[in-house]
Amino acid sequence: MTITITDSHCHLDFPDFDQERPEIISRALEAGVTRMVTICTRLRNEPQVRAIAEAHDPVFYAAGTHPMSAAEEPLASVDELIALSQHPKFVGIGETGLDYHYTAESAEIQKQSLRVHIEAAQETGLPLIIHARAADDDMARILTETHKARPYSCVMHCFSSSAELGRAALDLGFYLSMSGITAFPKSQELRDIFASAPVDRILVETDSPYLAPPPYRGKRNEPSYVINTAQKGAEVFGMSYADFAAQTEANFERLFAKVAQSQPAQAKAAS
């Protein structure tokens, strides 16, 4: 029996996949990757991302304004995000967050955009999807302040930040997601951060087409490669791959409850 797993964060609308999107989704299914969440990073592209989710049963989607694009895109509104969330396959708010590595000059608009997305997550009950890079102090402060005012759920996508930000997120009940970075040979410090986290708060993802794990490093990533990251995750937690995959599936369904709720209806419709 094939072990099933979910790619909780990928970008199937990116041009890297234009020539073979159905084949990539088929390869993922053959490998046991039975669900994929494709992420829209600019709201003007939401119709195209939605269309991919509508065309492929295993694909769900989320939408938001990526922090590195916050200065280039119109500021999202809470009402706009709430309206998008009514779609049955729209399952998360984001990705949003803070990135001061390349775009520190837009820090203020990034913070403003982040707070809009947080409010949408609070209103809809859908999980917030956070991108954080080189902004740990502001990230921890804003997440803590807003969660204290009105709790919400959240995943720190492609987590590769400090142990301090990881602990702050976990203390709020949030989830940390492993990407291919976790499997890079020089990522032992990151693996140690994950090893100290509760295994029931861990997700796995590709962030494809980026960050392919070994043995595909340097090549285009795709959802089927999430297995390679999950195999490294199983090592980190001292678990069998089957047990780790089952744990991350349970975690995903707990956080992305709308996916789990919709799948029985899909299965019935397919029968």
Q: What angle do CA 222, 176, 188 make, to 5 degrees?
A: 80
- The CATH number that applies at residue 20 is 3.20.20.140
Beta-strand relationship, 128-133 and 5-10: unpaired
Task: Identify any residues that bridge with 97 across adjacent strands, giving them in sequence order.
Answer: 131
Task: Identify any residues that bridge with 218 across adjacent strands, giving them in sequence order.
Answer: none
Number of domains the chain contains: 1
pLDDT at 1: 73
Distance separating alpha carbons of residues 101 and 156, to the nearest angstrom: 17
Q: Hey, what amino acid is at 174?
A: F
Distance separating alpha carbons of residues 90 and 16, to the nearest angstrom: 23
pLDDT at 2: 84
Q: Which of 250, 242, 248, 237 is nearest to 194 (CA)?
A: 237
Q: Which of 159, 123, 147, 143 is nearest to 9 (CA)?
A: 159
Q: Say which residues have a Cβ less than 8 Å from residue 10's Cβ, sequence separation at least 6.
A: 36, 37, 38, 39, 205, 206, 207, 208, 222, 223
pLDDT at 264: 56
pLDDT means per 10 residues in the chain (271 residues)? 94 96 97 98 98 98 98 97 98 98 97 98 98 98 98 98 98 98 98 98 98 97 98 98 98 96 54 34
Distance separating alpha carbons of residues 58 and 9, to the nearest angstrom: 13
Domain of 246, in residue numbers: 5-270
Do the Cβ atoms of 6 and 36 come closer than 8 Å?
yes
The beta-carbon contacts of 253-260 under 8 Å, at least 24 apart in sequence, are 255/127, 255/153, 255/155, 255/175, 255/203, 256/8, 256/37, 256/60, 256/91, 256/92, 256/127, 258/60, 258/90, 258/91, 258/126, 259/35, 259/37, 259/60, 259/91
**Per residue in 34-52, pLDDT tens?**
999 999 999 999 999 999 9
Do the Cβ atoms of 218 and 184 come closer than 8 Å?
no
- Residue 79 CB coordination number (10 Å): 11
Q: Hey, what amino acid is at 252?
A: F
Q: Hey, what amino acid is at 120?
A: A
